[in-house]
Amino acid sequence: MKTKEKIIMAVAALLLGLVFTVPIWTIDMDAPQYPEGIGMKISINKIEGKNKNDLQNINGLNHYIGMQEINPGSIPELKIMPWIFLFLIVSGVGIALWGNRTALLIWIILFVLFAIAGLVDFYLWSYDYGHNLSDDAAIKVPGMTYQPPLIGTKQLLNITASSWPGVGFYISLVSMGLASYAFWTSKQSS
């Protein structure tokens, strides 16, 4: 790896620092009673409402259908994910300094695997919330489940739920792309 590739790799790794500051995924909910909108911003270390009290209000609405409360404090992924990204940043910067292509490849593969695992985990998480409903729920619609789409838009009773990647996700993609570019060009030059 030449200096240029090392720099690109360092940028790719350091870019991931931004992921700590922006949501990686967003879920917007559109309902007649919420002309101003209501939604969630999912970051690697926290889940917040789009507006100050949205999370509380979403939980308030969800209790009618018997959905578990979304309580960021009890979601282990939010504690693990920051460490994964920290690992990617530190190891990525290390690889940039070291200049080892094989290590870079392993880094990219690990990153992709982490990303896939994250999406699978997110799917399972939303499956659990959407299907694992309390028997005491006030509103029970036979056959109805409330899993938001992994990506895209879906009608759930009166709510149109839209789930889309957030800025953090795109930053991760760019980081992945830069690392792959560094790997690719260093291959050609070798």
How far out from the chain centre does Cα 10 lie?
Answer: 22
Scan residues 116-175 and list those touching other proteins (CB under 8 A).
Answer: 138-139
Q: How far is the CB of 24 from other proteins (least distance, A)?
A: 26
Query: Which residues have CB under 8 Å from 141's CB, separation 6+?
Result: 157
* CB closer to other proteins, 53 vs 132: 53
Strand-pair category, 38-42 with 25-30 = antiparallel
Site size toward other proteins, by CB under 8 A:
9
Do 139 and 64 touch, CB atoms closer than 8 A? Answer: yes
Per-residue tokens: 148: 């938001």
Give me the least distance between CB of 156 and other proteins, in Å please: 15
CB of 172 to other proteins, least distance (A): 33
CB of 69 to other proteins, least distance (A): 13
Q: What angle do CA 45, 48, 49 make, to 5 degrees?
A: 165
Minimum CB distance to other proteins smaller for 17 or for 60: 60
Please, which residue, 56 or 145, has the CB nearer to other proteins?
A: 56
Q: Which of 3, 32, 36, 190 binds other proteins (CB under 8 A)?
A: 36
Least Cβ distance, residue 131 to other proteins (angstroms): 22
Q: Which is nearer to other proteins, 116 or 144 (CB)?
A: 144
Which pair of tokens denotes residue 119?
Answer: 């999406």
Q: Is the Cβ–Cβ distance between 88 and 107 less than 8 Å?
A: yes
Please list the residues that pair with 49 across neighbouring strands.
Answer: 40
Q: Least distance to other proteins from the beta carbon of 41, Å? A: 17
Output 63 or 154, the one with its CB closest to other proteins. 63
Coil vs helix vs strand at 33: coil
The DSSP output letter for 51 is S
DSSP, res 150: S
Contacting other proteins within 37-96 (CB under 8 A)? 52-53, 56-57, 60, 64
**Which residues in this chain contact other proteins in the complex, by CB under 8 A?**
36, 52-53, 56-57, 60, 64, 138-139
